[in-house]
Each structure stands twice: as C-alpha cells, then as structure tokens.
Amino acid sequence: MKKGFLIVYSGPSGVGKGTIMKELLSLKTLKLCFSVSMTTRKPRPGEVDGVNYYFVTKEQFEENIKNDQILEWAQYGDNYYGTPKAPVFKWISEGKTVILEIEVQGADKIRSQYPDVRTMFLMPPSIHVLRERLSGRQTESEEEVNKRIEIAKKEIGRANDYDYIIVNNRLEDAIEDALEINLNK
C-alpha cells in the first residue's frame, strides 16, 4: 500500500493558521487528516476537547510522554503541546496526508525523524499586524499577547528552515498558496 505523507504547518500565534487549516480541511477531495494535539493550556471560549485539542493536565501530559505516546512535543510559553502518535501512524499506514500544526521546535523534531516531510511557514505581513490580530481576538491577556509576540520574533527567524513560506496578507491568497503546495506533492 502507498505510504502516507506528512505536512507540517508552523507560524506565529495569531497569523491565521487555524483559519487556513479549516479551509483546507473543508475540501473533502484533498482527504487531509488533521492531527489533534494534546495541550496543558486551558481551552479558549468555543474550543472543544477532542476537536481543537485534547486538553489535559500537566500530569496526564507527562504520563503520555513516559508511555511513548507522543510523536513530538514542546514547551510554548508556560504550557506543553504535543502530537499523539497513534492516529498519525494509523493515517500514514493508510496512505493519507496528515497535517501537523505545530511550532518550530516540534517541526525540528519531525524534520529530523521524517526527512521527506513537507514543511510550511505561515508568515504575518508585519509584527504590527500580528499584534493587532492577536489583541483583536481578545482571547489572551495583554501580558500573554506580549509573550506571544516575543516568541513570534524568534519563530520568524526560523522561517528559512521551511520548504515554503506563505505570507498571510490576504487570506484568499494564502489559502490559494497553501492549496497549490498541498496539491503538488
């Protein structure tokens, strides 16, 4: 059977990864599988356990690491985020295309384990715009927004390590670019 394919999406918090991901996943013909991550972060309003993330305690997260159930994980701010191994392995063995939406440290780990992974970095038009988007969604405190902007500056410095950089200036264009890249595998 044809083996599946891994795609990694990274990009600073607030750049619009979620919106683009939703758009790609709604296109059933692409048959993309989205890896739902595990996190110790608290859910934002509207986020659903098992859909957006598996929301767990620090102890549960550490238990998963100990039991070798996490493909990659990283600390981002004060929380842990990780990719559950089992669904990814299952989809890959079924020949599916699997999307991991993860930050840069996780992308490094995946790249070193799976050299043929396709990696994409979603870039904001500017730090200023990113700050406006992050503040505008009103899901984080000002202190958290500042923390995320500091992380974003470091992440942007790693963009050249990715196969593709998509600038999310106009959403429609970014979606079109993402589609082009996903389809041309």
Residues at the contact surface with ligand 5GP, assessed by CB under 6 A: 13, 37, 41, 72-74, 76, 81-83, 101-103, 105-106
The single-letter code of the amino acid at 157 is G
Least separation in angstroms between residue 47's CB and ligand 5GP is 8
Strands 79-84 and 70-76 come out as: antiparallel
Least separation in angstroms between residue 32's CB and ligand 5GP is 16
Least separation in angstroms between residue 108's CB and ligand 5GP is 9
The rounded distance, in Å, linking the Cα atoms of 57 and 48 is 16
Nearer to ligand 5GP, 1 or 130 (CB): 130
Euclidean distance between the first and the last CA atom of the chain, given in angstroms as a whole number: 17
Least separation in angstroms between residue 5's CB and ligand 5GP is 18
The single-letter code of the amino acid at 110 is I
Nearer to ligand 5GP, 71 or 175 (CB): 71
Nearer to ligand 5GP, 1 or 42 (CB): 42
Least separation in angstroms between residue 1's CB and ligand 5GP is 26
Least separation in angstroms between residue 51's CB and ligand 5GP is 13
Nearer to ligand 5GP, 59 or 78 (CB): 78
Q: For ligand 5GP, which residue has the nearest CB? A: 106
Cβ–Cβ under 8 Å, residues 167 and 174? yes
Nearer to ligand 5GP, 1 or 50 (CB): 50
Nearer to ligand 5GP, 132 or 184 (CB): 132
Helix (H) or strand (E) holding 86: helix 85-93
The rounded distance, in Å, linking the Cα atoms of 24 and 16 is 13
Question: What residues contact 144, with CB distance under 8 A and at least 6 apart?
Answer: 77
Helix (H) or strand (E) holding 62: helix 58-66
Assigned token pair, 14: 């607030």
